[in-house]
Amino acid sequence: MNYIGSKHKLSDWLLTNIKAVCGEDLSTHTFCDLFAGTGSVGRTFKPLVNGVIANDLEYYSYILNRNYIGNNTALNSEEYINRLNTIEPEKGFIFETYSASGAADRLYFSAENGKKIDAIRNQIEIWYVQKQIDEDLYYFLLASLLESADKVANTASVYGAYLKKIKKSAQKTLVIQPAEFQITLGNHAVYNQNSNAFINTIEGDILYLDPPYNARQYGANYHLLNTIAKKDTFVPKGKTGLRAYTKSAFCSKVEVAQTFENLIASANFKTLFLSYNNEGLMSAATVKSIMQRYGNYDLVTKEYQRFKADKTESRNHKATTTTEYLHILEK
């Protein structure tokens, strides 16, 4: 998934620097990914630590992490994936509200894929309610649907708007690909909580923080994934069919510094690592001034290619780089 702020390409760099501070052997450590997103960092540390605590306020993120981090035993999923891929399409909420030829005529998905998403999501829920599948398989199938649907979405990577015409990748027929997870020896837990409230209920060794760094709200940019994930009904707002969402204080220039300091002050972890960059609402100097009040502070940086939308929709696309900051605090 092409995700705003994804640390997938930086995972090796993060691991190297975290090991440099915490030691090569992390097998007795508890690692918390407090703003987990798609779970790429938690997945990197899952086989290396005693336990991962993954948390995110967005429900689609909870589903992805509940599968990739929370699932830790083998599943008999092949039959269910095959059945979902041969299911009869049906006109439902996603088709009517977010697909071509639907009542609202929003072009987030082709008509065929909108109907397939409706049918697949309904079937997963039926299996779960009727206890034909357990919780682990339920979240595995939902994660598989979310990632597979995202691959055929008619957007420039985020769901803040749809494209005016169905692009080539969105014309492909939706095929559910299994969201395979790694089985490890650790004990892992996944949560769907507000970070600043949740931090008061947990403790551990390594706290990794990757909060929103600018004014872009994840609840708005990925609202349609939440709608597929939750399978609820509501009255969509505006041209893009936005759903109500909780705004993050980390996206507010007025609130971010105090919210961040409250989080740092409350954290009951030995070592804290903050991923941020030079385009964030907080300057590096601000972050340093806050963190060094609570222990020993350090900083490492790396130049990397920034997040960008779908290249096929931008003829004059030019790659740009940004500076990633890894702020380090030993309490």
Confidence of residue 304 (pLDDT cuts 50, 70, 90): confident
- Report the candidate in 215, 225, 206 with the shortest Cα–Cα distance to residue 64: 225
Does residue 309 carry a pLDDT above 80?
Answer: no
Average pLDDT over residues 246-260: 97
Does residue 7 carry a pLDDT above 70?
Answer: yes
Distance linking the first and last C-alpha atoms of the chain: 34
Q: List the beta strands (DSSP E) in the chain.
A: 30-33, 51-55, 189-191, 204-209, 269-277, 296-305, 321-330
Average pLDDT over residues 127-145: 98
Domains and CATH numbers, the chain: 1-72+184-212+250-331 (3.40.50.150), 73-180+224-247 (no CATH)
User: Which tens digit of pLDDT belongs to each residue from 282-302?
Assistant: 999 999 999 999 999 999 999
User: Which tens digit of pLDDT belongs to each residue from 70-117?
Assistant: 999 999 999 999 999 999 999 999 999 999 999 999 999 999 999 999
Does residue 314 carry a pLDDT above 60?
Answer: no
Average pLDDT over residues 168-191: 97
Please give the pLDDT value at position 57. Answer: 97
Residue type, 109: F
Does residue 248 carry a pLDDT above 90?
Answer: yes
Strand 189-191 with 51-55, pairing: parallel
Contact present, 93 and 233 (Cβ < 8 Å) = yes
Q: Within 10 A of 258 (CB to CB), how many other CB atoms are there?
A: 12
For 70-79, 205-214, 276-285, 304-313, which range has the lowest pLDDT when averaged over its residues? Answer: 304-313
Please give the pLDDT value at position 318. Answer: 47
Residue linked to tokens 């039959």:
79
Average pLDDT over residues 50-64: 98
Q: In terms of pLDDT, which residue wins out, 317 or 276?
A: 276
Please give the pLDDT value at position 306. Answer: 63
Q: 13 pairs with which residues across the strands?
A: none
Average pLDDT over residues 19-37: 98
- Report the candidate in 41, 76, 74, 35 with the shortest Cα–Cα distance to residue 57: 35
- At 190 the three-state DSSP class reads strand
Confidence of residue 307 (pLDDT cuts 50, 70, 90): low
Q: For 271, phi and psi rounded to 5 degrees?
A: -130, 135
Could you give the percent of the chain with pLDDT greater than 90? 91
pTM attached to this predicted model = 0.94
